Chains A and B, each alone.
Chain A
């Protein structure tokens, strides 16, 4: 506790370092960038969902004044890429979903490029199309890729224990099919890129990628270059949430256009294009069977998941990695079986999205917890406490919980929401046409990265200049989550300097050392540990130098207030020397030393084996949400009255930043639960605009109260673990449980739009239908 009390920056409420510039509008986002001689790129996409491309006539497009180049698959080496190696920059012979790229134009103005795109004539021959993954797996279904005659490019199997035996021995068993649909990331900044070759043939990409080093490698392969000849610069990113974890065709297309036009090319998506052609959250059909014994201890879980892969593969196909952790390890479950099939269809395809499959899995599991609690006659809170994970646990899948605050999360959320009291009292309090209810759900997620690749590490280079300014060059990326600020706080804390003395550089692969990128809630943990290592080395150098110069024992020296402090035995601390003077004295002495340190942090996690076993993250985040809802029985409208969240965050690094993370995540979860849906019918997106794609707006956002459970993870920087994805994960499940509490009706599909809820209420006889002919 004494260490905590003396901390100046860790745990403080620190506004994001770039907040003033964002608020004043001075920050330049990618669409604000203009490079000399730059052309504007536009993409002509397919308007068919599955068709053979008979011909593409670009002759009229090439005649539009201001057009420099028009490219199709025939004009470039069209290299396959992506997790399934089934995507290409341009589609030449066959289009497989509505967004497929057929041609691209680079022109002097956006208008000319758009006009040229309109004038490209495409002749198609329609092919039989698939829109339902269930139909895709049927015998005799149309084949989308000849290489995959069963339309099934991926299958995941995981098991521990003996599910069959456990099912037979369970006192209570519940079974449901859950159906989760498409939603969009809705980043404020749309997808964009600038590709520019210099005279030497080196390529600079101004890109919004959240994985710059993997991106450089993958891009090199697609456009036929060496990775070292590609420089990735990441300007301020207007939101990513996972949407920029993969390469998408518009990015190599920009490179091809720049190469062909011998001019820099910028592509910026319109909002409509963003809805149509950026990845979505992976839809999922989850058939789940769960059981418990007579006392309410979980016995088994048996899950079959079917994922709609759409027409091409992106990261959406890999969400089973995360889903299975929740099935196997959110609670102590001795017997688990998890099978996932991934099926090609002609729908749009999905990518990575904050939570990475966990929102879908948790929606199913946490409703089953409530259903089993009801069957057992236990309160849902008691059911969860009975089965909760604890510190020291190694789960059936091999996840090791060094720290685990799930019980505290459950207690805190329940207590602050007056969960038990309100649930007991609510029967009398509800109005005739409005019913109130409370629901609870918990979550588990990786809290320090996930070792998907051989390395999940991050490098740092730290220097202190002659004026005491500290520069941290980190491999990590800030996509708006505030990691830059947190890293500066860590460095300032270790070096005893004011935050305004710390500059974080994180946006240029020519400068920064390796990092995997922003995924798996890893940046505060992995980049934080890396920065802390580099700062600690600098601190030791400073203290050693001061000890030598002043002939004092190093144990009596410390760093604070931009200075070296001396605390004599049983004495009061006194300022010995400002850090900048000490740095100068090292620089301009006979030793002639600059204060530069470097560190590489590789988390102590392992890559999972073929059975998906192994401790994939060094630490894990837990949380519980309680929500209170009001359901209008005559219209089906669900209003959320309050959210009480509790998150095991290890340690709060930035009290203001974490509030933003939690509130933002909860609102994202509320949208997933209640209003958001990319409506796709026969492969076509029906609502590619904010008018019809309903994000929550400020008036619908309820009060959100969060408690931070500080379990002080021994491996985290100052005890912290990642929390970026956690707050979005269990909101929908808690809402579904609350709606059930209010109305007695279970909903297994999202979003809980008023129409869906009213359908359910009428089907269950809660509301009398009227006026339906």
Chain B
């Protein structure tokens, strides 16, 4: 039974509360938390940070987009800055759950819940985002890969709170977000791919291929990235990268899909992403 429930309204209050009760469970939108809670999995102490206004802002600075941990998916979708500066994040948000869930689910919650199928984490991984963790003792920055250690497992220390996300803005970047159907949204991904790159003179640079629901954590297909980095794409190279990506993911069978199908989806999605880069018309669509 929950015996302690705090609802701070400022970041300092939240960090102080967390310092006092480091074992407390942090609650934001609650969309991942309510179902197990209803089934009886309630922690002793809860700190609800959903009303901390400082954590709900979206700011665009010169070279980055700064997002508070409690920015909701609905907020992301309404933001022109997100659409322009981090389109892959916007696209992931556009395929995220249902309008009801979107109005509660937060960016920080999606990261800290550390689901292998977390679509927003995947998009953040593809745009080299860093996260800021704060505690009474100070702050530190981690990459998404450093933060998410395994299913439901993060690098958050006792008393630490994820407070924000920083997405670097890269001019001329193209991006795609591919996720399994059959429903366009309201679907836990059987596999998803978030892709970003810069295309100049037919060559790809800064390629990021992030794959979701195909490993214990959202992962980058680094062998595939290395194959295409700095090179001009041709069908043989694309197929080689597709093979590489499908080979380096480590999916499992579960109620939503088999490992075999997940691998095939990664192949299909990586191929779509790369082919789009060879086609001016689709490239334009991917950049928008």
Q: A674-B182, A675-B183, A771-B264 are in contact. Are A755 and B242 (CB under 8 A)?
A: no
Query: Please, how many angstroms separate the alpha-carbon atoms of A753 and B261 in the complex?
Result: 11
Nearest CB of chain B from residue A257's CB, rounded to whole Å:
24
Query: Please, how many angstroms separate the alpha-carbon atoms of A252 and B242 in the complex?
Result: 59
Nearest CB of chain B from residue A766's CB, rounded to whole Å:
13
| CB of A635 within 8 Å of the partner chain | yes
Asked if residues A691 and B181 are in contact (CB atoms below 8 Å), the reply is no
Nearest CB of chain B from residue A639's CB, rounded to whole Å:
8
Asked if residues B267 and A771 are in contact (CB atoms below 8 Å), the reply is yes
Q: A634-B271, A692-B255, A755-B257 are in contact. Are A771 and B182 (CB under 8 A)?
A: no
Instruction: Report the nearest B residue to A690, measured CB to CB.
Output: B186
Asked if residues B246 and A770 are in contact (CB atoms below 8 Å), the reply is yes
Instruction: Report the nearest B residue to A695, measured CB to CB.
Output: B183
Q: Secondary structure of the A side of the interface?
A: loop
Asked if residues A753 and B182 are in contact (CB atoms below 8 Å), the reply is yes
Binds B, one of A241-249, A482-490, A696-704: A696-704
Asked if residues A699 and B264 are in contact (CB atoms below 8 Å), the reply is no
Query: Please, how many angstroms separate the alpha-carbon atoms of A762 and B260 in the complex?
Result: 12
Could you say which residues of chain A place their CB within 8 Å of the CB of B272?
634
Asked if residues B255 and A771 are in contact (CB atoms below 8 Å), the reply is no
Could you say which residues of chain A place their CB within 8 Å of the CB of B167?
none
Nearest CB of chain A from residue B146's CB, rounded to whole Å:
28
Nearest CB of chain A from residue B144's CB, rounded to whole Å:
24
Query: Please, how many angstroms separate the alpha-carbon atoms of A759 and B260 in the complex?
Result: 10
Query: Please, how many angstroms separate the alpha-carbon atoms of A190 and B260 in the complex?
Result: 36
Query: Please, how many angstroms separate the alpha-carbon atoms of A755 and B181 in the complex?
Result: 10
Asked if residues A771 and B263 are in contact (CB atoms below 8 Å), the reply is yes
| CB of A584 within 8 Å of the partner chain | no
Q: A634-B272, A755-B258 are in contact. Are A770 and B183 (CB under 8 A)?
A: no
Query: Please, how many angstroms separate the alpha-carbon atoms of A769 and B271 in the complex?
Result: 13
Could you say which residues of chain B place their CB within 8 Å of the CB of A771?
242-243, 245-247, 263-264, 266-267
Q: A634-B271, A686-B255 are in contact. Are A697 and B186 (CB under 8 A)?
A: yes
Instruction: Report the nearest B residue to A751, measured CB to CB.
Output: B182
Query: Please, how many angstroms separate the alpha-carbon atoms of A755 and B265 in the complex?
Result: 9
Could you say which residues of chain B place their CB within 8 Å of the CB of A687?
255
Query: How many B residues have CB within 8 A of the partner chain?
Result: 30
Query: Please, how many angstroms separate the alpha-carbon atoms of A759 and B272 in the complex?
Result: 19
Asked if residues B183 and A699 are in contact (CB atoms below 8 Å), the reply is yes
| CB of A694 within 8 Å of the partner chain | yes
| CB of B132 within 8 Å of the partner chain | no
Asked if residues A634 and B268 are in contact (CB atoms below 8 Å), the reply is yes
Query: Please, how many angstroms separate the alpha-carbon atoms of A686 and B253 in the complex?
Result: 13
Instruction: Report the nearest A residue to B182, measured CB to CB.
Output: A675
| CB of B78 within 8 Å of the partner chain | no
Asked if residues A770 and B181 are in contact (CB atoms below 8 Å), the reply is no
Query: Please, how many angstroms separate the alpha-carbon atoms of A773 and B263 in the complex?
Result: 9
Q: Type the 1/0 row for A738-773, where 1 means its CB is closer than 8 Å to any CB of B.
A: 000000000000000111001100100000011111
Contact of B261 among A632, A675, A692, A755 (CB under 8 A): A755
Could you say which residues of chain A place their CB within 8 Å of the CB of B190?
755
Query: Please, how many angstroms separate the alpha-carbon atoms of A772 and B32 in the complex?
Result: 32
Could you say which residues of chain B place their CB within 8 Å of the CB of A753?
182
Could you say which residues of chain B place their CB within 8 Å of the CB of A262?
none
Asked if residues B264 and A770 are in contact (CB atoms below 8 Å), the reply is yes
Query: Please, how many angstroms separate the alpha-carbon atoms of A686 and B271 in the complex?
Result: 32
Could you say which residues of chain B place their CB within 8 Å of the CB of A557?
none
Nearest CB of chain B from residue A745's CB, rounded to whole Å:
16
Could you say which residues of chain A place their CB within 8 Å of the CB of B258?
755
| CB of A8 within 8 Å of the partner chain | no
| CB of B184 within 8 Å of the partner chain | yes
| CB of A637 within 8 Å of the partner chain | yes
Contact of A758 among B184, B242, B261 (CB under 8 A): B261
Asked if residues A700 and B180 are in contact (CB atoms below 8 Å), the reply is no
Could you say which residues of chain A place their CB within 8 Å of the CB of B231?
none
Q: Type the 1/0 row for B163-197, where 1 means its CB is closer than 8 Å to any CB of A.
A: 00000000000000000111111111010000000
Query: Please, how many angstroms separate the alpha-carbon atoms of A686 and B256 in the complex?
Result: 10
Instruction: Report the nearest B residue to A755, measured CB to CB.
Output: B261
Nearest CB of chain B from residue A680's CB, rounded to whole Å:
11
Could you say which residues of chain B place their CB within 8 Å of the CB of A634?
267-268, 271-272
Nearest CB of chain B from residue A274's CB, rounded to whole Å:
16
Nearest CB of chain A from residue B268's CB, rounded to whole Å:
4
Query: Please, how many angstroms separate the alpha-carbon atoms of A281 and B183 in the complex?
Result: 23
| CB of A498 within 8 Å of the partner chain | no
Asked if residues B261 and A694 are in contact (CB atoms below 8 Å), the reply is no
Query: Please, how many angstroms separate the alpha-carbon atoms of A122 and B186 in the complex?
Result: 38
Instruction: Report the nearest A residue to B185, measured CB to CB.
Output: A699
Asked if residues A637 and B181 are in contact (CB atoms below 8 Å), the reply is yes
Query: Please, how many angstroms separate the alpha-carbon atoms of A759 and B264 in the complex?
Result: 10
Instruction: Report the nearest A residue to B254, measured CB to CB.
Output: A686
Q: Type the 1/0 row for B232-266, where 1 means its CB is closer than 8 Å to any CB of A.
A: 00000001001101110000000111101101111
| CB of A501 within 8 Å of the partner chain | no
Asked if residues B242 and A637 are in contact (CB atoms below 8 Å), the reply is no
| CB of A679 within 8 Å of the partner chain | yes
Q: A635-B265, A675-B183 are in contact. Are A691 and B188 (CB under 8 A)?
A: yes
Query: Please, how many angstroms separate the alpha-carbon atoms of A675 and B181 in the complex?
Result: 10
Instruction: Report the nearest A residue to B248, measured CB to CB.
Output: A771
Asked if residues B181 and A754 are in contact (CB atoms below 8 Å), the reply is yes
Asked if residues B182 and A700 are in contact (CB atoms below 8 Å), the reply is yes
Asked if residues A697 and B268 are in contact (CB atoms below 8 Å), the reply is no
Asked if residues A773 and B255 are in contact (CB atoms below 8 Å), the reply is no
Contact of B267 among A686, A700, A770 (CB under 8 A): A770
Nearest CB of chain B from residue A392's CB, rounded to whole Å:
44
Q: A635-B265, A687-B255, A770-B264 are in contact. Are A694 and B243 (CB under 8 A)?
A: no
Nearest CB of chain B from residue A691's CB, rounded to whole Å:
7
Could you say which residues of chain A place their CB within 8 Å of the CB of B256?
692
Contact of B255 among A638, A679, A699, A772 (CB under 8 A): A679
Nearest CB of chain A from residue B34's CB, rounded to whole Å:
13
Asked if residues B183 and A773 are in contact (CB atoms below 8 Å), the reply is no
Asked if residues B184 and A699 are in contact (CB atoms below 8 Å), the reply is yes
Instruction: Report the nearest A residue to B187, measured CB to CB.
Output: A694
Within 8 A of B (CB), among A16-37: none
Query: Please, how many angstroms separate the alpha-carbon atoms of A773 and B265 in the complex?
Result: 14
Contact of A773 among B239, B247, B268, B271 (CB under 8 A): B247
Instruction: Report the nearest B residue to A752, measured CB to CB.
Output: B182
Q: Type the 1/0 row for A336-362, where 1 means its CB is closer than 8 Å to any CB of B.
A: 000000000000000000000000000
Q: A634-B272, A635-B180, A686-B255 are in contact. Are A769 and B264 (CB under 8 A)?
A: yes
Asked if residues B183 and A700 are in contact (CB atoms below 8 Å), the reply is yes
Query: Please, how many angstroms separate the alpha-carbon atoms of A5 and B247 in the complex?
Result: 69
Nearest CB of chain A from residue B229's CB, rounded to whole Å:
20
Could you say which residues of chain A place their CB within 8 Å of the CB of B239?
770
Query: Please, how many angstroms separate the alpha-carbon atoms of A692 and B183 in the complex?
Result: 12
Nearest CB of chain A from residue B185's CB, rounded to whole Å:
8
Nearest CB of chain A from residue B113's CB, rounded to whole Å:
15
Within 8 A of A (CB), among B255-288: 255-258, 260-261, 263-268, 271-272
Asked if residues A772 and B263 are in contact (CB atoms below 8 Å), the reply is yes
Query: Please, how many angstroms separate the alpha-carbon atoms of A692 and B254 in the complex?
Result: 11
Query: Please, how many angstroms separate the alpha-carbon atoms of A353 and B92 in the complex?
Result: 38
Could you say which residues of chain B place their CB within 8 Å of the CB of A769?
264
Asked if residues B180 and A754 are in contact (CB atoms below 8 Å), the reply is yes
Could you say which residues of chain B place their CB within 8 Å of the CB of A692?
188, 255-256
Query: Please, how many angstroms separate the alpha-carbon atoms of A753 and B186 in the complex?
Result: 16
Could you say which residues of chain B place their CB within 8 Å of the CB of A758?
261, 264
Could you say which residues of chain A place their CB within 8 Å of the CB of B247?
771, 773
Nearest CB of chain A from residue B257's CB, rounded to whole Å:
6
* 29 examples of A-B residue contacts, CB within 8 angstroms: A634-B271, A634-B272, A635-B181, A638-B182, A675-B183, A679-B255, A691-B188, A692-B256, A694-B183, A697-B183, A699-B184, A699-B185, A700-B183, A754-B180, A754-B181, A754-B182, A755-B190, A755-B257, A770-B239, A770-B246, A770-B264, A770-B267, A771-B242, A771-B243, A771-B245, A771-B246, A771-B263, A771-B264, A772-B263
6 other A-B residue contacts (CB within 8 Å) besides A634-B271, A700-B184: A634-B272, A635-B181, A635-B268, A637-B181, A697-B183, A771-B243
Q: Which 4 A-B pairs have the closest CB atoms?
A: A771-B246, A634-B268, A771-B267, A755-B261
